[in-house]
Structure 1
Amino acid sequence: MKLFITFGTQHFLEKLPEASHEHAILLESGGDAALIAENEETNPFEEGHSYEILNSRGNLKNGSFAVLNHIQVTDEGRVLFEERFHQRAGLVEKEPGFAAIRVLRPDKNDPYIILTLWESQSDFINWQQSSAYAEAHKDRGTGGGLPQTLFSGPSYVKQYRVLS
C-alpha cells in the first residue's frame, strides 16, 4: 500500500479531482495545506511525494487533527530505523482519541514521515503528556536510542486540521 502527499494552498488542493476521492484527506494549517491519498496505485498527483506504508493502524478518515513527524535518515541508517519501528510497542494506539498511524518510507530522498491522526488536538497533547508517551520515547537521545549518526538532519513536526 502506498500513501501520496502533495502540498499547496487549501483553495488549490480542494479543486483537484483527487480531493473528493474516498481515500483522500485534506489537511490545513495556517494557510498551508496538504492532500493525502492512500491507495495501491500510482501517484495521483503531478507534484506529489510518494511513500510506502511500513506500518498502518486505524482509519485516516476517523481523525480531525493530524501530526506529521518528518525524520531525515541517512541511506546507511534506513535498515536500523525501520527495524526500530517494526519493533515499536504500539502504545499510541491505546491512547484515548487515537485515530490512525502510518509509518512512511519515502520512495525518493524525502524524509520518513510518522503520520498520526487524532480525534482532536487536545487528544494529541494528552498523548504527549502521558506516561505511555514517556515510555515510547524513553531512549531518545540516550545510548539505548538510535545513534545520532543515522540522521542526516533534524526532524521537524507539522500539525494540521483535517478538513475532509
Structure 2
Amino acid sequence: MNIHLTSGTFDFLFKMKKKHLAESMILMQNIDNAVLLHETTKSSVFNTPRSFQVLDSFGPLENRGYVVMNNIPVTEEERPLFEYRLKNIKNLFQNLKGFLAIRILQPLKSDTYIVLTLWQNEKAYMDWEHSASYDMFMNEVEMNLSFKTAQLLIGSSYITKYFIPEEK
C-alpha cells in the first residue's frame, strides 16, 4: 500500500478529489494550506506527489476527523534502525479514546518519514496530548529514537495538523 500527498489550494484539491471519486482520497486543511491524501496500491493520480510506502498501519483512514503528521527526517544509512524502532509504535495507540487510525510512512524519494495519526476530532487528540498515556508514549519514543540521534536524524522533526472538513 502506498500513500501519495499533494498540496495546493483547497478549491483546486477539492476539484481533483471530485474528479477521482473511485479513488480513496482524503482532503484536509489547516490555516496554511490544504493537502490531498491518496491511499492506493496503484500509482498516483497526482502529477508530482510526495510518495510513501505504508510500513505499518491500524484502522481505516476515514474522511472525517483530525490528522496529526509527525514528520521525521532520517539519514539514508540509519533508515533500517529507525524503521525497526517504529515497528510496534501502533500498539501504543490502539486503545486510546478518540483514536481512529495510524500509518507509518516510509518516503520513496525523500528523507522524511511520517507517522500519521487520525483522531475523531481535535479535542480527542488534545485530551490524549495532556494525558499520562501521552507522557508514557513520549518517553517510549524518546528512548527508542534518542540513541544515536546525531547520526539518525538529518534535521529537526516537526508536526503538521489538519482538519478534515465535512463534505456537503
User: Could you give the per-residue CA deviations for residues 105-160 of structure 1, whole angstroms, max 9, x where no partner exists?
Assistant: 00011410110010010111111122222112215556983321200000111111
Structure-2 change in CA distance of 1:22 and 1:45 (3 Å): closer
| Runs of 4+ with deviation above 4 angstroms | 139-144
Matches within 5 A, 1:51-130: 51-61=52-62, 63-88=64-89, 90-130=91-131
Give ranges in structure 2 of 5+ residues lacking alignment: none
Asked whether the equivalents of residues 24 and 39 of structure 2 are also in contact (C-alpha less than 8 Å), the reply is yes
Instruction: For 2:2, give the aligned amino acid.
Output: K
Unaligned runs of 5+ in 1: none
> Matched residue of 1:138: which SS?
helix
1:22-37 matches, cutoff 5 A: 22-37=23-38
SS of the aligned residue for 2:97 comes to: coil
CA distance in 2, matches of 1:155, 1:23: 28
Query: Which structure features the higher share of helix residues?
Result: 2
Write the distance in 2 (CA, Å) between the matches of 1:25 and 1:102.
Answer: 14
TM-score (norm 2): 0.89
